[in-house]
A = this chain, B = another copy of it.
């Protein structure tokens, strides 16, 4: 047996046994899933994660195009499909993900057009045609001051046209998916933390809270941001009050990284007030180092 081949096969066995669609990241993963299917006497349901030959312009995070850790390069897909033919996998289609966190609808539309075009170009390699097509995500949310919310209308029109003019004629009733994780969840979560101290140090006002980056790392700027910018913050019970001062909201950890808002314009804040950090519903608590420095984890409350 090829070295390393058996690594993680337990995961593949469980996934195949559960009948989920496994999105294959590589030829090696395809071989593992094939072996899992043989061992179980089942036909694994799979799709190919494709690294497109274009990227999502203006994406906050590029996840396709060029050399990527994700998926199979588009130009390698035909050979992989040929190699997989007759190997007992049910290849349903493709997952093509070019990037995430984009606020420009024109760029998302263009990427979706190119994604469909790529899928249709790859379709002849699939024995039973494309029955599943994941067009990826990209729908951004406005985190920072000058960010404008995404204009959904043109994206809806574009998707409608792609469906009626290209996807349905070519792929019939294929299941078409888009991924909206952050777009749906980001704004649905708030991080709330209490001011336990208010300090002025050499002219600068600090509001010290009982939480910090161990609860909401992304707001501290330490989760992928190149230039740190403030997430939107407010004082609970004074959300509509006019800003009255410039203050930095810092966490309770003994590191200067623990900065939730740098010189933010806030209403006059007092010890005991609650600071609300918005957009904590995605890349929030689970993306934070909750065990750092032994502080307690916050409760998560569903309203």
Q: Which residues of A contact B (CB under 8 A)?
A: 2-5, 7-8, 25-26, 28-29, 51, 61-63, 66-70, 73, 194-199, 201-204, 206, 208, 210, 217, 222-224, 248, 250, 254-259, 270-273, 285-294
Contacts and interface: CB of A to CB of B under 8 A. Distances in A.
A287 B208 CA distance: 20
B7 A67 contact: no
A15 B288 CA distance: 27
Chain A residues touching B, majority SS: loop
A224 B222 contact: yes
Given A69-B248, A208-B69, A271 B7 contact: yes
Contacts of A73: 201-202
Name, among A199, A270, A273, the residue most crowded by chain B CB atoms within 10 Å (CB to CB). Answer: A199
B257 A224 contact: yes
Contacts of A202: 66-68, 73
Name, among A255, A257, A293, the residue most crowded by chain B CB atoms within 10 Å (CB to CB). Answer: A255
5 contacts: A4-B195, A68-B201, A69-B248, A223-B257, A290-B290
B28 A63 contact: no
Contacts of A194: 7
Given A28-B271, A199-B26, A62 B5 contact: no
A288 B286 CA distance: 10
A29 B199 CA distance: 11
A292 B284 CA distance: 9
